[in-house]
Structure formats: C-alpha cells, structure tokens
Amino acid sequence: MFGRLGAPEIILILVVIVLLFGAKKLPDMARSLGKSARILKSEAKAMKSDGATPTAPADPPAADSSKRTIQAAPGDVTSSRPVSEPTDTTQR
C-alpha cells in the first residue's frame, strides 16, 4: 500500500512541504539539519574514540588565558566567540 512511491507522489509531497513551510524558511531548515547531522557524527566519533584508546589529558595552553573561545558545537567555527574571564575583585 505505502511501498510504492513514484515521481508524482514525491512531487506532491515536496509541493505540500513548500506550501507549509514557505520557500524562505527551507534553506534555513536544511542548514540546521546539516549542522545537527555534523554534531551527531562528531559526537558518535568521539564516543567511539573514548572507548577505543585511553589518552592523556592535554596540557593547558600556555598563551594568554584571559582570552578563550567558546564553541557551540564540535567543529562549528561559525558560532564561536571570544569571551573574557571574570576577574576576582575581592580584597584580602
């Protein structure tokens, strides 16, 4: 019953999707779906490598520690931004 999808059925499904979501939102939706797939792939790869070989923790960077970069997701460099660390302003 549902096993045979031909060209007319696929075209009808695509037309309904375009009508529901609009042509302007479809590229954004595809972009976010791609980001999600990349995140999922990198997390699965990290989980596999965590169980395969134990690695020593990396040394902290010797550069200026007042400027760090926070990444929203592994491999996602478009949303990373520099942040400033809070300073201790209490008097001893």
Domain of 44? 25-51
What average pLDDT score do residues 15-44 get? 89
What's the pLDDT score for residue 35? 95
Instruction: Give how far Cα 33 sits from Cα of 4, 7, 87, Å.
Output: 26, 24, 38
The answer to the question of residue 33 being in a domain is yes
Q: Is the pLDDT of residue 48 over 60?
A: yes
Please indicate, yes or no, whether the overall pTM of this predicted structure exceeds 0.95.
Answer: no
Per-residue burial over 18-46, b if 16 or more Cβ lie within 10 Å, else e, is: eeeeeeeeeeeeeeeeebeeeeeeeeeee
- The tally of domains found in the chain comes to 1
The answer to the question of residue 80 being in a domain is no
The answer to the question of residue 36 being in a domain is yes
